[in-house]
Amino acid sequence: MTSAGKRAEALVAELGIKCPQDLDVEAIAFDSGVEVVYEAMTGCEASLVGYLDRAVATINPSDVRGRERFSVAHELGHWHLHRGRSFQCRVDDPSANLSSDRALEKEADNFAAHLLLPGPLFKPVIAQLGQPSFQQLTKVAGEFETSIMATALRLANIDTLPVIVACYTRDGKRWSLPAADIPKRWFLKDKLDEDTFTYDFLNSGKESRYLGKQSADAWFENDDAEKYEVLEQCIGSAGGTALVLLYLQPDMLDAGFDWNVGNRRYNERGSYVPRRGASRR
């Protein structure tokens, strides 16, 4: 776990919070010396201005309570981790920082994800669900008052299931977050395959109501992907994108290293490997 995540979970533990309903983000902020103000802003979603041991977090109001809560928790992360600085944050969508290299923003997002979905409370809920579908994740998000996006990202982050959370548009992959234990050999396709349910959804609006079985070949570049299956489901997300859940079947976790995929130049032991097509060894 990142140190930002640890700090957030330590704070939850210190406050003696034992259930999701007690994760009152304004109360936690107040306890940390941060006053939360909701006020329409232009040019940013949330800001933090601190002086000595007090700060004001200003949050752009949103119809989605989960997004407001994430913004508060994000600013609280800046307060706990980056004290002495002021912040104007453009983003209340945790996926937007995923592909950026703005280290402090990522840290604040990490803090927020662990504060609102702390492992000791979130993991037991997920464990009861097996491999949760989006319908089930939506209920979990309701219980924790988080957005479905933040909840899905945290699902991959806790690394208890062989899951990849990804975002695709009709033009292809925006980003993906695999659970840490997923072998690096599995390369997601950049282009959305016509055989995927996600392709159907983005092109004809046909939603998949359940996790559906799918050939791994539809999702992964690997030559041997056709031998494997995944479970796939997607839902519509902001800006005409689809948020995708992929569960890898257990045998995919045992598949050996694949020399022959992507633009791999080094093998798992760090030795140079010629590109695909070039003669090997």
Least CB distance from residue 78 to Zn ion, whole Å? 6
Residues in Cβ contact with 12 at an 8 Å cutoff, skipping those fewer than 6 apart: 23, 28, 114, 115, 118, 120, 121
Site string for Zn ion, 1-20 (x = CB under 5 A): --------------------
Work out the burial of residue 221: count CB atoms within 10 Å of its CB; fewer than 13 is exposed, 13-18 middle, 19 or more buried.
Answer: middle
Task: Say how far apart CA 114 and CA 275 lie, in whole Å.
Answer: 39
Least CB distance from residue 237 to Zn ion, whole Å? 21
Task: Say how far apart CA 185 and CA 136 lie, in whole Å.
Answer: 29
3-class secondary structure, 205: coil
CB closer to Zn ion out of 78 and 154 = 78
Least CB distance from residue 85 to Zn ion, whole Å? 10
Q: How far is CA 247 from CA 95, 101, 158, 210, 228, in A?
A: 19, 27, 14, 13, 11
Least CB distance from residue 82 to Zn ion, whole Å? 9
CB closer to Zn ion out of 108 and 235 = 108
Single out the segment in contact with Zn ion by CB under 5 A; choices: 54-62, 101-109, 138-146, 224-232: 101-109
CB closer to Zn ion out of 95 and 133 = 95
CB closer to Zn ion out of 80 and 264 = 80
What is the DSSP secondary-structure string of 70-137?
HHHHHHHHHHHHSTT--EEE----HHHHHTS--HHHHHHHHHHHHHHS-HHHHHHHHHHHSS--HHHH
108 sits near Zn ion (criterion: CB under 5 A): yes
CB closer to Zn ion out of 97 and 133 = 97
Least CB distance from residue 108 to Zn ion, whole Å? 5
Task: Say how far apart CA 124 and CA 19 lie, in whole Å.
Answer: 11
Residue number, nearest CB to Zn ion: 89
Least CB distance from residue 77 to Zn ion, whole Å? 8
CB closer to Zn ion out of 48 and 243 = 48
Site string for Zn ion, 141-180 (x = CB under 5 A): ----------------------------------------
CB closer to Zn ion out of 105 and 145 = 105
3-class secondary structure, 252: helix
Task: Say how far apart CA 161 and CA 147 lie, in whole Å.
Answer: 20
Site string for Zn ion, 58-97 (x = CB under 5 A): -----------------------------x-x--------
By CB under 5 A, name the binding residues for Zn ion.
87, 89, 105, 108
